[in-house]
Amino acid sequence: MIRSLVTLLGPAHAPRLYRYLAWLVTSAVLQGLAVALLVPILHALFAGDLPTATAWLAGLAAMVVLTCIAHYQQAMKGFALALLVLTTLHDRLGQHLVSLPLGWFNSEKVGRLSRSATSGTLMVTGLFAHYLGPVVSGVVVPATVALTLFVFDWRLGLTAVLCAPLIYFTHHWSAAAIGSNDARVEAAATLAGNRVVEFARYQQVLRAFGRTQDGYAPLQAANQAQKLAGGSMLSQTFPKLLAGGLTVQLAFALLVGVGIALAAHGEIDAIQLVALLALAARFVGPLAEAAARSGLLRMAGNDLDQLVSILREPPLPEPAVSLPLSAPGSLAFEHVSFAYPSGPTVLRDLTFSAPAHSMTAIVGASGSGKTTVTRLLMRFFDTTAGSVKVGGVDVRELSNAALMAQLSLVMQDVYLFDDSLEANIRVGSPDASARDVAEAARLAG
């Protein structure tokens, strides 16, 4: 997760993350040491040794002050990182998205991107503001307490250490179940969101054919799938969360049992027993808090992985300088073969040319690859073999801006921005004159 957080924040902000984690661990260690000081304090008080108790209380007060300082530092740095994610992540996503190949943007990825950029971003900020702190404290504080138990009585310390793997296993088991089910819920929610957009976008067609009277079957199916995914997550994860909490309580019961057994055999006195049991209670308290937050941590981790996977998508490779056009206005396919990612070959050894100042029609049956040809021209994808040339230059030797300056494409799925017709025409050239806009409209028919 640390590597993913570094990727998300960027190398420039990685030191801030490391400082936050350092303060977080320091705060947890100091908290554990402060709790450990309760043992000699209680022992001195029950023994009636007020000078010794006062000395230990002074040490506890100093430790509490240090703990408060460290906790304040980690909390403020955590909130600062959360605000950093909120203020910069969308900008980073936007800058990266414009560098991706256009073929990357299919309906599934766009739906996932929408959720990641909204609810996913909020979950990731929760890592710094709410989730990492309790989980790290839930590991470091009990570890510190277990080590101090060794100082006072090695048998209680050994019992605490032996309980740790079992507690870790049950928490990891429940968190893994939450993570895997959350991924399925996320996929179902993305599909349902896409269906809602589809239902709203194509209202004219659906109403024209009477498909809205009895509901829209794909949307209903997606909503039902989302409901089932949520119910499945609850039924599968609740018993595991219950088992995790039960394991923590069993660990405390075991520590109490060992302590009572030691007292019964005269290994420790009653005063030591009370003090050590107070310390044992602080061993399981942070573990219970960590167990309560581990599921949320795993869910936030899933959203983090989604965002990082987007940021790690390789951008469209572009040359630093475009080659000059040798035949402006011409198009050519030279022995082009192409297959979509994880799909069969669509084009095999396709060769044709379209000279400048001419009209060329690409005719074929549905599914024969006509749209694929236009996508390769626009460099939605790069060819599997062969080359596509625009203006006599391989499209891979042209920058995206230079390539788009040579092409004007009207897709099957036309999208109009929520603005005037003139504003939509100006999208391609915001500085165009009124005469240029009128000429473009005339040429478009």
Write out residues in the chain with pLDDT < 70, as ranges.
107, 179, 211-213, 292, 411-413, 445
Q: Are residues 112 and 192 in the same domain?
A: yes
Q: Are residues 335 and 273 in the same domain?
A: no
Q: Are residues 339 and 286 in the same domain?
A: no
Q: Are residues 109 and 156 in the same domain?
A: yes
- Whether residue 319 is contained in a domain is answered as no
Torsion of CA 83, 88, 93, 95, to 10 degrees: 180
Q: Are residues 361 and 273 in the same domain?
A: no
Q: Are residues 204 and 216 in the same domain?
A: yes
Q: Are residues 258 and 221 in the same domain?
A: yes
CATH number at residue 162: 1.20.1560.10
Whether residue 277 contacts residue 259, with contact meaning beta carbons closer than 8 Å, is answered with yes
Instruction: Give 18-26's long-range contacts (Cβ < 8 A, gap of 24+).
Output: 19/77, 20/74, 20/77, 20/78, 20/81, 20/128, 21/136, 23/70, 23/73, 23/74, 23/77, 24/74, 24/78, 24/132, 24/133, 24/136, 24/137, 25/136, 25/140, 26/70, 26/74
- Per-position DSSP letters for 1-57, written without gaps between them: -HHHHHHHH-GGGHHHHHHHHHHHHHHHHHHHHHHHTHHHHHHHHHTT-HHHHHHHH
pLDDT of the residue at 219: 80
The residue among 311, 342, 360 that closes a domain is 311
Q: Are residues 377 and 296 in the same domain?
A: no
**Mean pLDDT rounded to a whole number for the chain:** 83
The residue among 263, 278, 311 that closes a domain is 311
pLDDT of the residue at 212: 67
DSSP label at 397? G
CA–CA dist 157, 353 (Å, integer):
80
Q: Which two tokens stand for residue 235?
A: 């039924």
Q: Are residues 286 and 370 in the same domain?
A: no
- Whether residue 316 is contained in a domain is answered as no
Q: Are residues 128 and 105 in the same domain?
A: yes
Q: Are residues 337 and 305 in the same domain?
A: no
- Whether residue 318 is contained in a domain is answered as no
Q: How many domains does the chain divide into? A: 3
- Whether residue 212 is contained in a domain is answered as yes
Q: How many CB atoms lie within 10 A of CB 370?
A: 14
CA–CA dist 93, 384 (Å, integer):
28
pLDDT digits (tens, 9 = 90+) for 20-76: 999 999 998 998 888 888 878 887 887 788 888 899 899 889 999 999 999 999 999
pLDDT of the residue at 334: 93
pLDDT of the residue at 425: 84
CATH number at residue 368: 3.40.50.300
Q: How long a stretch of residues is the chain?
A: 445
pLDDT of the residue at 95: 85
CA–CA dist 168, 294 (Å, integer):
11
- Whether residue 325 is contained in a domain is answered as no
- Whether residue 148 is contained in a domain is answered as yes
Q: Are residues 235 and 337 in the same domain?
A: no
- Whether residue 322 is contained in a domain is answered as no
pTM over 0.85: no
The boundaries of the domain holding residue 238 are: 2-311
CA–CA dist 190, 253 (Å, integer):
44
CA–CA dist 184, 299 (Å, integer):
11
- Whether residue 192 is contained in a domain is answered as yes
CA angle 291, 251, 293 (to 5 degrees): 5
- Per-position DSSP letters for 185-239, written without gaps between them: HHHHHHHHHHHHHHHHHTHHHHHHTT-STT--HHHHHHHHHHHHHHHHHHHHHHH
Backbone angles phi, psi at 313, to 5 degrees: -60, 130
- Per-position DSSP letters for 81-138, written without gaps between them: HHHHHHHHHHHHHHHHHTTS-GGG--HHHHHHHHHIIIIIHHHHHHIIIIIHHHHHHH
Cβ-proximal residues to 64 (8 Å cutoff; 6+ apart), any chain: 34
